[in-house]
Structure 1
Amino acid sequence: MNAFQKFRLDVAGLGLIFYSPFSAAAIQEGEDYLERGFSDPDVVEKQALEGRLVGVSTGTPGRFYLEVFQGYPDDAELEKYAYRLRLGVEVRDRTLCVRDLYDLLKWQSKCPATQVIALTDGFYHVTLLSNDPQSGILGEDQIILVYLQQLPEMPKLKYNGVPTLC
């Protein structure tokens, strides 16, 4: 299966966020939303469970290469990866954004075009897969596979605090 989109994401913080712009509409331009509304693990967990502003801990800053696929990975594919995480997200206006968590420190609502995934509106399971990069150092040119499967409703998920990939 070939990726339908690939892009690089430089992460200055310890993670990334998935969201559709409607879910970030209340964040003011220039606001430090990370401190004001996204520093409490319970809040991060609640937002992730609702599929709104979905934070994912990578455990490290770095340069990540995301490869985006439709559907679910098969069992053989899943077994190849040490790091696996399943999320849920609601997409509206055909737009899913993927950004550095630290973009929340001084919020700019416009998502870089290279970090936008165009999707049909609805609810999605997001499956993330990754391994240690060749260097053995997390975040050093690390590849993350992103599988998107549309669902009829928001999936039921469980997290213990911040969803963590690595």
Structure 2
Amino acid sequence: MNINKDIEIEISGLGIIMYSDFAVQSILEGEDYFIESYQTPQQVAKHVNEGSIVGFCTSSEGNYILKVRSGYPIQKKIEDAEFKITLGIEVRDKRICIRDLYDLMRWNKKCNYNQIIELDNGFYNVILYGDIPETNVIGDNQIIYVYLNRTDAIPDLRYDGVPIFCE
């Protein structure tokens, strides 16, 4: 499956989450899942390491442009990028949703169609990279490249806390 989609997302929180529907099916409409299950570094790490609700810290609210692509980026681009992290995600519902971390504070099951990536079920290695915008303000129409590559199993990642993209 060839993925080539740009997602413009405005976040009021300090991070972005990605998930397949199965990972959030038990969250009730209006529930504050953030306070209950996604607030501490250990809670976030558990979700990230299992590839369910995969979040990362942007360090700033703002406008982000996620350039979602399939496969692996050119290694030189990753090496030259100011920011880079690797994550993993499990897809069971032929799609992932990309949302503001703070959406977990008052859950609404509906994901904006423009923030959905359709892809085959399975496990994916997720490589994110990017640079500080020309304005030197994190979150000022900041571009983040998001590469998804299907794998046989969830990548063996061992985060002890929140993955931080912009630091």
TM range (shorter): over 0.9
1:76 aligned partner: 76
Q: What is the aligned-residue identity percentage?
A: 41
1:88 aligned partner: 88
- CA deviation string 1:22-55 (max 9, x = no partner): 0001110000111111111101001100000111
1:32 aligned partner: 32
Unaligned runs of at least 5 residues, structure 1 = none
Query: Does 2:101 align with 1:101?
Result: yes
**Matched-pair contact (CA < 8 Å) for 1:3–1:67:** no
The alpha carbon displacement at 1:80 in A equals 2.6
What is the correspondence of 1:103-142 to structure 2 with a 5 Å cutoff?
103-142=103-142
Unaligned runs of at least 5 residues, structure 2 = none
Task: Please give the secondary structure, in 2, of the residue aligned with 1:133.
Answer: coil
CA RMSD in angstroms, aligned pairs only: 1.2
Between the aligned partners of 1:3 and 1:113, the Cα distance in structure 2 is: 15
Task: Please give the secondary structure, in 2, of the residue aligned with 1:79.
Answer: helix
Q: Which amino acid aligns with 1:56?
A: F
Q: Which amino acid aligns with 1:33?
A: Y
1:153 aligned partner: 153
Task: Please give the secondary structure, in 1, of the residue aligned with 2:80.
Answer: coil
- Moved >6 Å (runs of 4+): none
TM-score (norm 1): 0.96
2:58 aligned partner: 58
Between the aligned partners of 1:66 and 1:55, the Cα distance in structure 2 is: 14
